[in-house]
Amino acid sequence: MKEKDKLWEKVKRDFPSDPALQEVHYARLKIHEQTKGMTYQEFVEFIKMKAKKVIRERQ
């Protein structure tokens, strides 16, 4: 089973009747998985990189 599927299963169990909270919780878990083991500085750079990507996509 893919990691994404495992995360979604957990989210749906935790918030069975709230799709909005499922989306937020999934995003939080995904970021947590992607940043495991990073230093604080690496984490900040990761968030900045993601923010820049979102800003570019919205322009």
pLDDT digits (tens, 9 = 90+) for 7-56: 999 999 999 999 999 999 999 999 999 999 999 999 999 999 999 999 99
Task: Write the burial class of residue 29 (CB in 10 Å: 0-12 exposed, 13-18 middle, 19+ buried).
Answer: middle
Task: List the chain domain ranges.
Answer: 3-58
Q: Is 37 left (phi over 0), alpha (psi -120 to 50) or beta?
A: left
DSSP summary character for residue 1: -
Task: Judge contact between 43 and 17, C-beta under 8 A.
Answer: no
The answer to pTM > 0.85 is no
16 backbone dihedrals φ, ψ, rounded to 5° = -65, -30
